[in-house]
Amino acid sequence: MTRYLRPDFRRQLHSARRWAGRLCLCTLAVVAMSATSLSANAQQVSERIARVQSLLSAESGYRLSVFAEVPNARTIAVAPELGGIFVGTRGPNLYFVRDEDSDGVGEEVNLIADDFKQANGIVYKPGTLFVADQHRIVSYDLANFDGERLGPPRILFTNLPDKSHHGWRYATLSPNGDRLFVAVGAPCNICKVSGLEGTIISIPVNGGAPEVYASGIRNSVGLTFHPETDELWFTDNGGDHLGDNVPREELNRASQSGQFFGYPWYAGNDTRSPQFADETVPEEVTFPEFTFNAHNAPLGFAFDDGDALVALHGSWNRTVPDGYEVVRVEFINGQPVTENPFLSGFLRSNGEVIGRPVDVKHYIDGSILISDDNASAIWRMMPDG
């Protein structure tokens, strides 16, 4: 299993090594006790993840393994040039997982920054890491990055809506790499929005004023460009408290800039929001290309051999829980038509939840990485053969 050292303990160890000749025996005993405690906790985490792995079912033709153990693992940004991946969280922490020998197992998990509001929106391009935080967008020069700590950020934009409700961003790069696309959720369940709320914006990678690329979006936590058409596709989570089976969750296609996707006049798919049902929808609505069951919470996804692999985080307020799997959405002639399990078993028959998939990314060895913020794991799906 991956070696993970809590940052405060890592500093204790470094200090102990430097000053070993001067430390008193009582101080060494405290450090030893800390090491024992952390080792026991790590063992418990490893045992729990091993149990989860044993209960999951992979699509035929794939085998499942553990890439790394990462606390509250959310978004993934693969960095081949650096020999590892960045992992964001829905909180202050940002990690780098080192896989120096490229064997598909992270040898070390380092906390590289811990001063974000929501370190969820991360994007990598060679030489630069972008982070879309709750209130701002920043970048980091990686020229001297050693896998341990990030240097000072460069501020790209500072006026994102600073509200915690749906404040965890998701981001991607344009196909030519010159613009950063960021989803900005609505700060509510269903309400009228203002400013940049309920949109997908784009800004130059060197910073500048944002442009609204798409609007009428409740809360997208997954977006990427189609590798063949260069069109932006994104997931969107529907409104709550309208029943167990409505509204359907969405997979959308933004074929051009300026499209409107219905929120808040639509709670999701073609379900009108009750509080705005008597109002005329102000713009022509672009409806989703594909829908999932209500409350499945589709989040990150990746295109794969013409299909889409979508992480369904799972319901939090449905009478009978649903979702909790990664599905393969099959495309025929460029259109999504059906879904089938790709990685399942996170929701057990007795109602126990043992994992919640969040993001899906292709790794450098041809495998597929899946983050899981419930199990605190990065799963690896490797094709047979």
> Per-residue DSSP letters for 33-102?
HHHHHHHHHHHHHHHHHHHHHHH-EEPTTEEEEEEEE-TT---EEEEGGGTEEEEE-SSS-EEEEE-TT-
Q: Supply the DSSP symbol for 117.
A: S
Can you give the pLDDT at residue 81?
A: 97
- In angstroms, the CA 45 to CA 41 distance is 6
Considering the domain architecture, whether residues 189 and 120 belong to the same structural domain is answered as yes
Considering the domain architecture, whether residues 180 and 153 belong to the same structural domain is answered as yes
Considering the domain architecture, whether residues 290 and 313 belong to the same structural domain is answered as yes
Chunk the chain into consecutive blocks of 10 residues (it has 385) and report each block's average pLDDT, rounded to whole numbers.
48 42 43 54 81 97 98 98 98 97 96 98 98 98 97 98 97 98 98 98 97 98 97 98 97 98 98 97 98 98 98 96 98 97 97 97 97 98 91
Considering the domain architecture, whether residues 329 and 353 belong to the same structural domain is answered as yes
CATH code of 323's domain: 2.120.10.30
Considering the domain architecture, whether residues 90 and 235 belong to the same structural domain is answered as yes
CB neighbours of residue 45 within 10 Å: 18
Contact 84, 97 (CB under 8 A): yes
Can you give the pLDDT at residue 34?
A: 53
Domain span including residue 23: 1-55
Considering the domain architecture, whether residues 315 and 202 belong to the same structural domain is answered as yes
Can you give the pLDDT at residue 44?
A: 76
Looking only at the bridges linking them, the beta strands covering 179-184 and 170-173 are antiparallel
Q: At which of 55, 80, 97 does a domain end?
A: 55
| Count of domains observed in the chain | 2
Considering the domain architecture, whether residues 10 and 66 belong to the same structural domain is answered as no
CB neighbours of residue 338 within 10 Å: 12
Q: Is the pTM of this model over 0.85?
A: yes
Residue 204 tokens, joined: 């130059």
The helix/strand/coil state of 362 is strand
Can you give the pLDDT at residue 163?
A: 97
Can you give the pLDDT at residue 11?
A: 44
Considering the domain architecture, whether residues 107 and 40 belong to the same structural domain is answered as no
Considering the domain architecture, whether residues 4 and 152 belong to the same structural domain is answered as no
Can you give the pLDDT at residue 179?
A: 98
Considering the domain architecture, whether residues 304 and 340 belong to the same structural domain is answered as yes
- Look-up: residue for tokens 């008597």? 278
Considering the domain architecture, whether residues 222 and 132 belong to the same structural domain is answered as yes
Can you give the pLDDT at residue 35?
A: 52
Can you give the pLDDT at residue 46?
A: 82
Can you give the pLDDT at residue 23?
A: 38
CA distances from 209 to 26, 55, 139 (A): 56, 47, 15
State yes or no: cis peptide before 341, omega within 30 of 0.
no
**What angle (nearest 5°) sits at the alpha carbon of residue 376, between those of residues 136 and 69?**
105
Considering the domain architecture, whether residues 139 and 178 belong to the same structural domain is answered as yes
